[in-house]
Chain A
Amino acid sequence: MSSPKEMTRAVIVGHKSILKETIDALHDSNLFHIEDFVEDESGFKIDKPFENAADVSKKLVKIRSISSFLGVDKKEPVIQKSDAVLQDLDSKLDELDRSISAKTAAIAKLETDLKDLESQKKDLLPFMSINLDFDYYRGYKNLKVFAGSIKSNLDESQLSSLTQTYELFYDPQAKTIALFVTNTEADKVYEFLQGLGFRELRVPNRGGVPSELLKVIEEKEIEINGKIESLKAEIDSMNTKYADFILASDEILSIESQKAEMPLRIATSANTFIIDGWAPSESYDSLVNTLNDATGGRAYISKLEIKEEEKEKVPVEYNNSKTVVPMQEIMDLYSRPKYTELDPSAIIFITLPLMYGLILGDMGYALILGSLALLIKKAIKAEAAQRLANILLYCQISTAIFGLIYGEFLGFPLAGFHGEPGLIPGWETRTLFSGLGGEEVTFPIHRSHMIMTMIAATVIVGLFHLALGFILGFININKQHGFKHALLEKGSWLIIEVSAIVAIIGYLIQNSIITNIGLIALVIGVLMLTKGEGIQGPIELPALMGNALSYARIIAVGLSSIYIAGTVNDIAFNMMWEDHSQIGLVAIAAILVFLLGHGLNSLLSIIAPGLHALRLQYVEFFGKFYEGGGKKYNPFGYIRKYTEE
Chain B
Amino acid sequence: MVGEELIAGPVLDAAGMKALSAALAITVTGLASAWAEKEIGTAAIGAMAENEGLFGKGLILTVIPETIVIFGLVVALLINQ
Please give the residue numbers on chain A whose beta carbons come within 8 Å of chain B beta carbons, in ascending order: 332-335, 437, 451-452, 455, 546, 549-550, 552-553, 556, 611, 614-615, 618-619
Contacts and interface: CB of A to CB of B under 8 A. Distances in A.
Contacts of A615: 59-60, 63, 66
Given A333-B55, A550-B67, A553-B66, A619 B74 contact: no
B31 interface: no
B77 A452 contact: yes
Contacts of A619: 60, 63-64
Contacts, number: 45
B56 A618 contact: yes
Contact of A451 (B57, B60, B77): B77
A552 B70 contact: yes
B56 A452 contact: no
Given A451-B77, A452-B81, A615-B63, A549 B70 contact: yes
Contacts of B81: 437, 452
A614 B74 CA distance: 21
A333 B56 contact: yes
A611 B78 CA distance: 25
A552 B77 CA distance: 11
Contacts of A618: 56, 59-60
B74 A455 contact: yes
Interface of B: 55-57, 59-60, 63-64, 66-67, 70-71, 73-74, 77-78, 81
Given A452-B81, A552-B73, A552-B74, A334 B56 contact: yes
27 contacts: A333-B55, A333-B56, A333-B59, A334-B56, A334-B57, A334-B60, A335-B57, A437-B81, A452-B77, A452-B78, A455-B74, A546-B67, A549-B67, A549-B70, A552-B73, A553-B67, A553-B70, A556-B73, A556-B74, A611-B59, A611-B63, A615-B59, A615-B63, A615-B66, A618-B56, A618-B60, A619-B63
A549 B59 CA distance: 20
A179 B57 CA distance: 78
Given A552-B70, A618-B56, 15 more contacts: A335-B56, A437-B81, A452-B77, A455-B74, A549-B70, A549-B71, A550-B67, A552-B74, A553-B66, A556-B73, A611-B59, A615-B59, A615-B60, A618-B59, A619-B63
B18 to A, nearest CB: 14
A619 B62 CA distance: 11
Contacts of A451: 77
Contacts of A549: 67, 70-71, 74
Contacts of A546: 67
Contacts of A334: 56-57, 60
Residue from B55, B56, B57, B81 whose CB has the most chain A CB atoms within 10 Å: B56
Contacts of A556: 70, 73-74
A452 B60 CA distance: 28
Contacts of B74: 455, 549, 552, 556
